[in-house]
Amino acid sequence: METNKSKNNKKYKPSRPKRFLALALFILIVFVFLLIKIGHLQFVQGSSLKELATRQQTTSRVLSAKRGAIYDSTGTALAISADVDTVTINPQKFVKDSDEETKILQEKVATKLSEIFELDYQETLTKVCSTSSVETIVQKVEKDKITELQNWMKDNKISVGINIDEDTKRYYPYSNLASNLIGFCGSDNQGLAGLEYYWDATLAGTSGKITTTQDASQDLISNQDAQYYAAENGSDLTLTIDINLQTIAEKYLEQACITNECADGGNVIIMQPNTGDILAIATYPDYNLNTPFEPNEALSESWDSLSTSAQSEALQKMWRNTAVSNTYEPGSVFKVVVASAALEEDIAESDTDEVFSCSGVEKVADRRIRCAKTSGHGSQSLRLALQNSCNPAFIQLGQKIGIETLYKYFEAFGFFNKTGISTSGEVFGLFHDIDAVGPVELATISFGQRFTITPLQMISAVSAIANDGILMQPRIVKEVTHTDTGAVTPIETKEIRQVISSETAQTVLSMMDSVVTYGSGKYGQVPGYSVAGKTGTSEATEGSTAGYVSSFVAVAPTYDPQLVVLLTLYNPQGKQHTGGQIAAPVVAQILSEALPYLGIPSKNTSTDTPASQTTSNVKKITLHDVRNKTAAEAKKELEEQGFKCSFTCSQNAIITEQIPKQGTSLVEGAIIKLYSEDTISDKAITTVPDLKGFSYNASKNSLASKNLNINVVGSGIVVSQDPIAGTEVSEGSVITVTLQPDIGSSSY
């Protein structure tokens, strides 16, 4: 049986040739199958696979241009762009072989991106699934989040599709400084307000782009079809603004608005008359340029109670440069323009007596228009009329000039057009149609009411008077620097026209000097300098809630004009409201710091005599440095100097701080507060009292009662103080008070 089985097995075992034949047949079948598959891939799916490979290997990225910086005239950066990162994606890189694999990857990427950058998941997923070549996920990203993303990509072996590119973020080093002028940028670095908006095309530059191919490791693959467009960085702007003058202007503007409770804020402009350069321009309240969509302090009080639309309107108002974008009734400041027209047309002379008569009221048609001085000014020359800011006299002058001639000069001074300043939002004034001007309208126009202009138009007109009658276009940008090439393009000053003769301009300045020396602008005097000026107080129309507008314009020095300053305060709610009382002293403070800063020498003039007498009568002592001495030693040295001192530390304790600081010039008997390292955290704080209207002695005693020291400028009564009333300061601090002769209540 076993033998038979063996025979049978041999019978059915394949022979060697048959096995080779079977193997060959199998190889042939596989080979044919591969040929068919390759043919299918090559000829049937070839174009689609090529397209898919191209999409997977091609990368396209935007190369951001760096926005140009904004500098002041001293080279200080006011707006710069800091390096940050922007995350973009190439959606096609998340497409896999199957729809299921693609969906899983897309959801995975969208989930992580939305988690890291705190984005809406659905919106992020829509971008990841987009058919666009590039989608921006987030801009201006902090480094810690970028590091988190990079670590996740490494852990999940995602090397393509997510791009991290260098970008820039706009940053304003001085936050609120000149905020209403500079403006700000949006998240895409596009200018949205102020100079940032007006000069956006110059500052922004042009973005670049790179389109090429890369392998799985994101290494670039040589490709003749690669395209590279370099980014062109934005140009830098250099302004005419001087950061030091801007700081001075903003400080005193803020003090004036707070002290006088100006419900609608205020603005101030400092202009160089012979060039038209704006050296400072400020609006109060201002805002933080780094957080422009957050309400400022004044707005935050009512912010939560506002509707969404009301909040938007409030922000728009907060951003406005009111010196350029808002109009107002100028009031008596405008009388210098009317006087200029009269003198140029030989309708009046400056010093001819008894030309104008004021009984305290002027009847015009059916109206009785009153003078600020109800008892009247009597007979006056034009100089006295301007000096007294007499409305009846200027009504009579306007009637002599006539509306046609007045409007001719208004147009020549630039009141019917924009000034052409290179910033956003400029408007111009609104006047009656000439055919609609009747006797009453002519009367009110003659003393600066019932029409509107911008503060910029007003100071430009006064600057023309200060510039021998030549009107200059206001200049805010001095030069443009191409950052890639270094080429500098200057913005030249521009003369508009000769409005009045040099002789007329000099006569008007002489009359304005009389206003400050003898008239309603006495509080505008600056020790050591001659000042020409004019006060202004306009009243709101009947039924309006706008309130008063108080202003003062000054030219200094009078006969060699270097600066023109205009301060405008809106709707003051304090005890006083006239321009001579609340605006003139502030302009004097600004000039008292600005003129010496610019190196303009002071001269002995009649206006500085009272101040010099006051200074000479007050003995000043320079405070020694007593730090690093024991309290007992410091006390002895200071008392020998003629000061009083106070400390709470032990007599053997080492003094580490003194208030006021060493080197301060103080009056005899001043109080000095001393602190050791152990007591410095317990500084005594007090509130600055309101000294307005006080004499020097009364001010000194009031401050001494609060352990505060006095620094005095001028003589008479206090018209301004720094810091302002209500400010919390350390005991021993010095309060500067500006005194001027009391001129009563006629400072209109």
* Secondary structure of 135-192 as H, E, C letters: EEEEEEECHHHHHHHHHHHHHCCCCCCEEEEEEEEEECCCCCCCHHHHCCECCCCCEC
The mean pLDDT of 735-747, rounded to a whole number, is 74
The per-residue pLDDT of the chain, averaged, comes to 89
pLDDT for 60 equals 59
Instruction: Retrieve residue 25's tokens.
Output: 């047949």
The mean pLDDT of 299-320, rounded to a whole number, is 95
Give the model's confidence band at 33: pLDDT under 50 very low, under 70 low, under 90 confident, else very high: confident
Phi, psi of 566 (to 5 degrees): -125, 125
- State the greatest distance between any 2 C-alpha atoms of the chain, in Å, as a whole number: 162
Q: Domain map of the chain by residue range?
A: 58-239, 324-481+492-598, 615-740
Omega before 17 within 30 of 0, i.e. cis? no
Among candidates 602, 624, 625, 626, which has minimal Cα distance to 615?
A: 602
- Going from the C-alpha of 69 to that of each of 175, 236, 240, 277, 419, the distances in angstroms are 15, 5, 14, 20, 25
In this structure, the number of other CB atoms found within 10 A of the CB of residue 359 comes to 13
d(CA 397, CA 447): 10
In this structure, the number of other CB atoms found within 10 A of the CB of residue 742 comes to 13
d(CA 655, CA 657): 6
The mean pLDDT of 530-559, rounded to a whole number, is 90
Task: With a cut of 80, say whether residue 356 has pLDDT above it.
Answer: yes
Q: Which residues pair with 213 in a beta bridge?
A: 58, 221
Task: For domain 324-481+492-598, give the fold.
Answer: Beta-lactamase (3.40.710)
pLDDT for 608 equals 41
Among candidates 603, 328, 340, which has minimal Cα distance to 467?
A: 340
Query: Taking a C-beta distance cutoff of 8 angstroms, is the pair 90, 134 a contact?
Result: yes
Query: Taking a C-beta distance cutoff of 8 angstroms, is the pair 706, 733 a contact?
Result: no
Task: Give the pLDDT confidence of 221-236 residue by residue, as tens digits.
Answer: 555 556 667 778 999 9
d(CA 669, CA 294): 47
DSSP secondary structure code for residue 646 in this structure: E
pLDDT for 16 equals 67
Task: Give the pLDDT confidence of 555-579 residue by residue, as tens digits.
Answer: 999 999 999 999 999 999 988 999 9
Residue 90 half-sphere exposure, CB side, CA atoms within 13 Å? 24
Could you tell me how far CA 357 lies from the centroid of its own chain?
46
Left, alpha or beta for 702 (phi > 0: left; psi -120 to 50: alpha)? alpha
pLDDT for 62 equals 63
Q: Which residues pair with 12 in a beta bridge?
A: none
| Non-local CB neighbours of 370 within 8 Å, separated by 6+ positions | 360, 361, 362, 391
Task: Give the pLDDT confidence of 240-260 residue by residue, as tens digits.
Answer: 999 999 999 999 999 999 999
417-454 in b/e burial notation, b at 16+ Cβ within 10 A?
Answer: eebebbbbbbebbebbeeeebeeebbbbbbbbbebbbb
The mean pLDDT of 534-548, rounded to a whole number, is 83
Pick the more confident residue, 462 or 11.
462
DSSP secondary structure code for residue 217 in this structure: T
In terms of residues, how long is the chain? 748
Task: Give the pLDDT confidence of 423-439 residue by residue, as tens digits.
Answer: 999 999 999 999 999 99
Task: Give the pLDDT confidence of 137-188 residue by residue, as tens digits.
Answer: 998 787 788 889 989 999 998 888 899 887 778 999 999 999 999 999 997 8
Task: Give the pLDDT confidence of 487-519 residue by residue, as tens digits.
Answer: 999 999 999 999 999 999 999 999 999 999 999
CA-angle at 738, arms to 733 and 743, nearest 5°: 150
pLDDT for 457 equals 98
Query: Taking a C-beta distance cutoff of 8 angstroms, is the pair 630, 651 a contact?
Result: yes
pLDDT for 50 equals 58
CA-angle at 324, arms to 318 and 325, nearest 5°: 55
| Non-local CB neighbours of 333 within 8 Å, separated by 6+ positions | 448, 458, 462, 534, 535, 536, 551, 552, 553, 566, 579
- Going from the C-alpha of 244 to that of each of 74, 95, 357, 407, 584, the distances in angstroms are 9, 59, 46, 38, 21
Task: Give the pLDDT confidence of 677-692 residue by residue, as tens digits.
Answer: 999 988 999 999 999 8
For residue 88, give the 3-state DSSP assignment. Answer: strand
Note whether 58-239 and 324-481+492-598 share their fold: no
183-221 in b/e burial notation, b at 16+ Cβ within 10 A?
Answer: bbbeeebebbbbbbbbbbebbbbeebebbbbbeeeeeee
DSSP secondary structure code for residue 364 in this structure: E
Give the model's confidence band at 607: pLDDT under 50 very low, under 70 low, under 90 confident, else very high: very low
d(CA 252, CA 245): 11
Query: Taking a C-beta distance cutoff of 8 angstroms, is the pair 419, 463 a contact?
Result: no
Task: With a cut of 60, say whether residue 615 has pLDDT above it.
Answer: no
**Pairing state of beta strands 671-676 and 655-659?**
antiparallel
Q: What is the Cα gyration radius of the chain?
A: 38
Query: Taking a C-beta distance cutoff of 8 angstroms, is the pair 319, 312 a contact?
Result: no
Instruction: Retrieve residue 127's tokens.
Output: 């971008």
Q: Which residues pair with 481 in a beta bridge?
A: 236, 488
Pick the more confident residue, 683 or 474.
474
CATH class of 58-239: alpha beta
d(CA 467, CA 477): 20
Going 320 to 323 to 326 to 328, the CA torsion angle's sign is: positive
Instruction: Retrieve residue 390's tokens.
Output: 């007499």
d(CA 272, CA 279): 7
DSSP secondary structure code for residue 522 in this structure: G
User: Above pLDDT 70, what percent of the chain?
Assistant: 89
CATH architecture, domain 615-740: 2-Layer Sandwich (3.30)
DSSP secondary structure code for residue 77 in this structure: E
